[in-house]
Amino acid sequence: MADPLPRGQDRHADRTLTWYFENIDRDGTEQGPAYYMDRDYTPAAVRVLARRAPDAAALTFTIKDDGVSIFSRTPRMEKGDTQEDDAEEFPKNPPTIAEGSIVTLDVTPNGAKGISVHLELLA
């Protein structure tokens, strides 16, 4: 996973957004909570965990800032996997999520259960 911080700096996320789904009955848009951004943030890392791995195909998801994906390509957890870290899915210069934005999640579980998505943000 690529380090979003300059060398020599040890910094923790200023804010972490979390979505959790025990069971998702449908694929689609804006599942779970929507988050209001209280200041400008830069995405640093995204982590996805599943208690039961996707079995039909890869689990795919996207995190959206005011309806637009923050990723350069759609992140995925491959069939049979239960953990994925996706720093490489951000564009070379990660976008700023502006104060006042609404952040949402779209997910296609493909059989995965107990799904957690965590987005780590730097202020």
Q: Residue 74: beta bridge partners?
A: none
Confidence of residue 5 (pLDDT cuts 50, 70, 90): very low
Domains by residue range for the chain, with CATH: 15-122 (2.60.120)
* Interacting residues of 100 by C-beta distance below 8 A, sequence separation 6+: 36, 37
At 31-82, the pLDDT tens digits run 789 999 999 999 988 899 999 998 889 988 999 999 999 988 888 889 998 8
CA angle, residues 115, 47, 120, in degrees to nearest 5: 120
At 20-39, the pLDDT tens digits run 998 876 666 667 899 999 99
The pTM for the full model equals 0.82
Cα–Cα distance, 33 to 19 (Å, whole number): 7
